[in-house]
Amino acid sequence: MLDGQEYPDAEASPTGVPGGRPAARAGAPRITRTESGPKTRASTRASTGASTRTRPRPPSSRRARAGTGTGTGTGNGTPAGEEPAGEKPAGHALPGGLRDLRVLRDLQGVVAALGRLPAHLWREILISYRFNSNDLWSTVVPASCFVVAAVRNAGLGPFAAAVTVAGAVLYFWLFIYGSSLINQITGVAEDRLNKPFRPLVTGESSMLGAKRRLAAVHVLFPAVGLLLGVVEWALLWQLLFMLHYAWGGHRHWFAKNLLIALGVVSQLAPAWQMVTPLTTPVWHWVLTMAAMTFLIIGVQDLRDVEGDLTLGRRTMPVVLGDLPCRVYFAGSFVVLLPVTHFVMVEPAGFHWWTAAIDAALAGLSLLLAARVLLLRTPAQDHRTQRFVEWWYTFVLATAVVLL
């Protein structure tokens, strides 16, 4: 049944031939035979007196003819609905075209995404700056200065020096980014009181977005450290800031000061090591900076006393009281005068420029002692903390000529 209909008997067939076969075409050669036996059912239906009948063409001929120009066959002797061996039906060209169209649309989507990539990257850089802005002068800038000192000490060429410093800036940006993220994720309530300009308070970043960024930094930071040959220091820093922020080290002044002092070691040691091996004089600098940081880092808590009392944090100003704490910090800055002279300046010999550095460090230390004693409002304490960070940066910048 080629046209999709069934004829159960000859009377129902439009051709008058059992099975629905078409009648012989006019003009086609006729083959006749004489009926010598009893008449058959077919012969009784023929015209009266006819002794001959048209022999139907073989099925293969009919199929070939039906497939030519009618669209019901393949034109090569194969019935409609059947695929010739070794060939695909013409209808398969359309799905292939659709697949090509999908690929083209996918490529257009990729191109569009790549076109938006610079804007996304720039937005992430700005958000990371918002998280890091309060700590750049205590991490990225001074550590990069120490890297420059190591580059000069190692005598690197211009290209190698530029690549090294660029890698160091990326490393220390991620260094403080991870710390800032965990600090602000766990301290939103405190930041609403003490630092309302931070992204999680202002709404520039959601909590979910901050957690995703922290997860990314946890992977990227040690990866960059591995490329720069300082992965052990990267892992140490991650452990320290988790102890500090996530596991409560920041809630008591001694643990906080100790963890930050160890953080100085994990900052300055890789800054030198990513350029050239650490030496004994360099270790003297690193450990001296860590010890001085332990003594004076509590200055940053003078501005946050009200919020720390509300949150139950036992910082040094909260435990010792405001005035005793200020006297202690002023004395610490005075003690720094001989320490910086004998450990850092004197080993470089006596020159006019070493005398100038010595005088500048002494002046900064005395200025800090005076500020912490005399200027006591939260805004003034915030400014004093900025002076501490600039002192820290200046000391490490002098390593470019002293080491």
Listing DSSP states for 284-334 in one string gives HHHHHHHHHHHHHGGGGGGGGHHHHHHHT-B-HHHHH-HHHHHHHHHHHHH
Tokens (6 digits) for 35: 């009926």
pLDDT band at 217 (very low <50, low <70, confident <90, very high): very high
358 CB-near residues (< 8 Å, 6+ apart): 340, 341, 345
pLDDT, position 310: 77
Distances from the Cα of 183 to the Cαs of 140, 179, 220, 299, 376, in angstroms? 17, 6, 18, 18, 26
Phi, psi of 314 (to 5 degrees): -100, 70
SS3 92: helix
pLDDT band at 35 (very low <50, low <70, confident <90, very high): very low
pLDDT, position 196: 87
Selected residue with higher pLDDT from 23 and 257: 257
pLDDT band at 57 (very low <50, low <70, confident <90, very high): low
Count of alpha carbons within 13 angstroms of residue 47, beta-carbon side: 5
Is 70 exceeded by the pLDDT of residue 329? yes
pLDDT, position 108: 76
For 175-184, the pLDDT digits (tens) are 999 999 988 9
Is 80 exceeded by the pLDDT of residue 31? no
pLDDT band at 14 (very low <50, low <70, confident <90, very high): very low
Mean pLDDT for the chain?
80
